[in-house]
Amino acid sequence: MEAKKRLSNPNSGLNGELQVPGDKSISHRSIMFGSVAEGKTVIHNFLMGEDCLSTISCFRKLGVEIDVTEDKVIVYGKGWDQLTEPAEILDVGNSGTTTRLIMGILAGRPFHSVLIGDSSIAKRPMKRVTEPLMQFGTKIDGRSEGNFTPLSIRGGNLQGIHYSLPVASAQVKSALILAGLQAEGMTEIVELQQTRNHTEKMIVEFGGTIEKHGDIIKVKGGQVLKGTDVYVPGDISSAAFFMVAAAIVPDSRVLLKNVGLNETRIGIVEVMKKMGVSIEIVEHSKEGEPIGDILVQSSNLSGIEIGGDLIPSLIDEIPIIALLATQASGKTIIKDAEELKVKETNRIDAIVKELGKLGARIHGTDDGMIIEGKTSLHGGEVHSWGDHRIGMTLAVASLLTDSDVYLEGAEAVKVSYPNFFEHIHQLHTK
Ligand code: S3P
């Protein structure tokens, strides 16, 4: 365990430009699709965070050659059938996306593999994936009847299924799509609430097909994918920390360059606009994964209610939105977000407890939280709970406190944003 990180408020605005690291969801998928495609895949702006490195390590153990250079990652895919039975346990580290999506791939492979992760992964529910994957015909077992790691999979001989997703989860949807690509016949997945659609977009980039009619996604089995070039946009979930920092720290103006603006991920922009933040977006390209620049300036904010279909489009941004709400006048209510309880930590408990220690007026509910603002925050000792997004939220909070914040578990930021603290510093020295 590293020592507590001391965070001192520089008492100045944040100013300048920033290129946030590559999108985590798209980075994972580019390794996975590159590994099962035929031919070379070259990935630009890949996120070198711990989670995505776990994905690379798992696919290397499955026999895929992956070269990591300074500015790109090259995956030498040889098709689905060239994945080989791993002699070692596949370690997914802290990554829920690796765990759930790789299961969709392994479900169709005729060999045995075992998945294990860290103490956070060991608590995250996996039945939501293992149960529908077993309906395809694969054999999976694990702790608590296949709900928790360690999990073991013996795949092969899948039959397409019709399945209605009981939770709004892109990880579950993607696992089923990956199994469907290898199954016999058609797989139909009913998605009642739209979640991030990077998997669907990437199938098309790799030369495959997928259809969506209303709420129903249709995937044809037996598809052969072709390696390609992937450009990973900046991660809007990482940009969110600086969007909020610029909004709440007086005298700030921050331009975030080349951020992914996928329509299923930009709930944070809608929320910030509704709260009164000055935010401008210049879109550069709409093809495939849209990309653009985001300019945010400090603003006067008002509380709002956030819930319903908006939640999946900002689920990872809720910790930092909670901090934003502490600086808005009036009440902010976040509801319909019970999924927060099964993220890297129980993010309702974590954010309520840790922001509360800094003086926030915040309390948890069954499906979210209620925040009263505007509040002056004070220094104190806080903990990331080993969760990257909780750690980064608390670090942004320290830019407003009247005395130092001591953050335990600050190293968690490496999961998705290895140079996060350098970037905060950079915006204060412009
Ligand atoms: C992700 C989906 C979301 C999100 C996670 C990444 C993905 O999880 O919270 O950080 O890449 O598909 P759920 O599918 O559990 O909602």
Average model confidence (pLDDT) across the chain: 97
What is the pLDDT at residue 30? 98
State in Å: Cα 330 to ligand 1 middle: 30
Confidence of residue 286 (pLDDT cuts 50, 70, 90): confident
pLDDT at 1 over 90: no
| Residue 395 DSSP SS3 | helix
What's the gap in Å between 171 CA and the centre of ligand 1? 5
Q: Is the pLDDT of residue 430 over 80?
A: no
Interatomic CA distance for residues 336 and 14, integer angstroms: 33
Average pLDDT over residues 216-231: 98
pLDDT of 285 reads: 86
Q: Of the residues 23, 97, 262, which should be mutated to test ligand 1's pocket, given the most ligand atoms within 8 Å of the CB?
A: 97
Judge contact between 195 and 264, C-beta under 8 A.
Answer: yes
Residue 144 tokens, joined: 């608590």
What integer is the mean pLDDT of 313-320? 98
Distance CA 221, CA 26 (A): 22
Q: In this structure, are residues 214 and 38 in contact, taking their beta carbons and an 8 Å threshold?
A: no
Query: Any bridge partners for residue 67, and if so which?
Result: 74
* Distance of CA 343 from the midpoint of ligand 1 (Å): 9
Facing residues of 361 across strands? Answer: 372
Say if ligand 1 is within 6 A of residue 25 CB.
yes
Over 80: is that where the pLDDT of 260 sits?
yes
Q: What are phi and psi of 384, to 5 degrees?
A: -80, -10
Residue 254, pLDDT above cutoff 70:
yes
Q: pLDDT at position 287, please?
A: 86
Contact partners, residue 221, CB within 8 Å, separation at least 6? 158, 160, 180, 181, 182, 183, 184, 185, 186, 187
CB 174 near ligand 1, within 6 Å: yes
d(CA 405, CA 390): 14
Ligand 1 contact via 170 beta carbon (within 6 Å): yes
* pLDDT at residue 3, rounded to an integer: 80
pLDDT band at 429 (very low <50, low <70, confident <90, very high): confident
What would the pLDDT profile of 30-50 be if each residue is shown by its tens digit?
A: 999 999 999 999 999 999 999
pLDDT at position 2 is 62
- The answer to whether the CB of 315 is under 6 A from ligand 1 is yes
Q: Is the CB of 140 under 6 A from ligand 1?
A: no
- Percent residues over pLDDT 90 in the chain: 98
The pTM for the full model equals: 0.98
For the stretch 17-34, pLDDT in tens is 999 999 999 999 999 999
Ligand 1 centroid–CA 74 distance in Å is 24
Task: Single out the catalytic residue among 23, 51, 316, 387.
Answer: 316
Find out whether the beta carbon of 61 lies less than 6 Å from any atom of ligand 1: no
Q: Each residue of 84-102: pLDDT tens digit?
A: 999 999 999 999 999 999 9
Does the active-site annotation cover 293?
A: no
Q: Ligand 1 atom 5: the closest Cα is on which residue?
A: 97
What's the mean pLDDT in 403-410?
98
Return the number of other C-beta atoms located less than 10 Å from residue 107's C-beta.
29
Domains of the chain from N-terminus onward: 5-22+233-428 (3.65.10.10), 24-231 (3.65.10.10)
> Distance, CA 199 to ligand 1 centroid (Å)?
11
